Amino acid sequence: MMLHVPDVLTSDQVCELRSALDGADWGDGRETVGEQGARVKRNRQLPEYSVVGRQLAKTVLMALSRSALFHSAALPLRFVPPLFNRYESGEHYGLHVDGSVRSIPGTGEQLRTDLSCTLFLSHPDDYDGGELEVVDNYGTHEVKLPAGDLVLYPSSSLHQVHPVTRGARVCSFFWLQSMVRDNHQREMLFGLDQSIQSLRTRLGESAETVALTGHYHNLLRLWAEV
């Protein structure tokens, strides 16, 4: 399941992050991937231990904590702290699949990458190219979202970033391990939760919404790994 999560960051927050990022020291993006990824990756990133990057990562995670839609879809258990990348002057990242396990810097812990996230920090009109292309069982999807919006998709998906031919594409990207490992189960829980929320908004609380909520939590209890 791919999901567009709008308005994760406000316009003021986007401006604050961009101000900090535009003056930051960027490194070679190939430093954070394996041999296969390095062959097709040409971009810049903030180093994993960048002081600026760690401060901005906290801002991103705090904003995500307020997004009910994101939590309904992802059911996050733990995160790799958000990283930041920049593409311009023909930079790109060819077709690849994200690694299945990532280390959490500074903790000695690892997580399974169930879901990948890209949070856009550049306005679409400010750059040409740079589309995120995700390939799944339903075809090929190109994503280029407004600044402050996020796309969530399975980490098992083949994907790439097209060359940027004008301007700069700046994003935050990160991975998470979900409480529910199976993508199909997670999709069903998301659909059920969204239906419950819609019914509650239209009809108010009722015996039916209480019963459906019970089914939701019983399924989550059955499938969750915590």
What lies within 8 Å, CB to CB, of 210 at 6+ separation is none
- Rounded to the nearest angstrom, the gap between the alpha carbon of residue 33 and the centroid of all alpha carbons in its chain is 17
Does residue 83 sit in the same domain as residue 172? yes
Q: What pLDDT score does 223 carry?
A: 98
Q: What pLDDT score does 38 carry?
A: 83
Residue 56's alpha-carbon distances to 21, 126, 169, in angstroms, are 9, 22, 17
What CATH number is attached to the domain comprising 172? 2.60.120.620
Parent domain of 203:
183-223
pTM of the model: 0.96
Interval 99-142: pLDDT, tens: 999 999 889 999 999 999 999 999 999 999 999 999 988 899 99
Does residue 191 sit in the same domain as residue 102? no
Interval 165-184: pLDDT, tens: 999 999 999 999 999 999 99
Residue 171's alpha-carbon distances to 14, 87, 159, 181, in angstroms, are 10, 9, 16, 26
How many domains in the chain?
Answer: 2
Q: What is the mean pLDDT of the chain?
A: 96
Does residue 123 sit in the same domain as residue 52? yes
Helix (H, G, I), strand (E, B) or coil at 191: helix
State the DSSP H helix or E strand holding residue 188, giving kind and residue range, or none if neither: helix 183-203
What CATH number is attached to the domain comprising 213? 4.10.860
Does residue 129 sit in the same domain as residue 189? no
Alpha-carbon torsion (105, 130, 61, 134), positive or negative: negative
